[in-house]
Amino acid sequence: MENRNRLWIMLGAGAVAVVIAVAVIVVVALNLTGGDETGTPAVAQEFPPYTHIIGDRDAPVTVVEFGDFQ
């Protein structure tokens, strides 16, 4: 009798896991379509050039090279 109860618990937990996985897949798939509630597609923002650079362009730079001559 105990094995039967354990089997039902395992089957129930498996079914819950499958339902959660399907729900996550559906939510992700709906969010990947982009756009807003009106159906307007999402537009990528344009960034000005060199937005990945931080600091002064003319700042001094020190290059240190290490070598192992064995």
- Within a domain: residue 21? yes
64 within a domain of the structure (yes/no): no
Q: Is residue 59 part of a domain?
A: no
Is the per-residue pLDDT at 14 higher than 90?
yes
Please, are residues 35 and 41 in contact by the beta-carbon 8 Å criterion?
yes
Tokens 């001094």 found at: 60
- Judge whether 36 lies within some domain: yes
Instruction: Say whether pLDDT at 39 is over 70.
Output: no
What residue numbers bound the domain in which 32 lies? 1-52
Q: Is residue 65 part of a domain?
A: no
pLDDT bracket for residue 59 (50, 70, 90): confident
Q: What is the pLDDT of residue 38?
A: 63
Query: DSSP string of 33-63?
Result: T-S-TT-PPP-PPP--TTTT--S-TT-----
How many structural domains is the chain composed of? 1
Residue 67 domain-assigned? no
CA atoms within a 13 Å half-sphere pointing along the CA-CB vector of 3? 0
**Could you tell me if residue 47 is inside a domain?**
yes
More confidently predicted of 19 and 5: 19
